[in-house]
Amino acid sequence: MLVVTLLAYGCPVQAIVMAFGLDDETVREWLKKAGLHCEGVHSYFMEKESRDLEQIQADEIKAKTQGGSVWMAMAMMVSTRLWLGGVVGVSRDKSLVRALAAQVRQ
């Protein structure tokens, strides 16, 4: 549980491997399993009941990476602050917004 918590807060896999003497593949497998579990929990709660999507707040930010910059578009339900989804694209254009809208509609 400690390793998954550290991963959730952005601790690099290599740092965890060195700190705890674990195998690199073991940590990566735990990360993959935790991610799949989180996806399942998120899907369960998103599909469990219909949402009142009268007010949705959407925004985008430019994020710098080692390979350049990307745009991240995100949307949330105003009344509950529930995160509805997000998409990443190399350019800030209509396709980025359309992909986000499609995800929210789904």
Q: 78 vs 13, which has greater pLDDT?
A: 13
State the pLDDT at residue 49. 65
State the pLDDT at residue 50. 66
d(CA 16, CA 5): 11
3-state secondary structure of 10: coil
Q: What is the mean pLDDT of the chain?
A: 89
Residue 12 identity: P
Could you state, in order of their start, the residue ranges of all structural domains in the chain? 2-48, 56-105
d(CA 55, CA 82): 11
Residues of the chain above pLDDT 70, percent: 95
3-state secondary structure of 22: coil
pLDDT in tens, 15-64: 999 999 999 999 999 999 999 998 888 778 777 666 667 888 999 999 98
Q: What is the DSSP secondary structure assignment for residue 51, as one 8-state letter?
A: -
d(CA 72, CA 96): 8
State the pLDDT at residue 31. 95
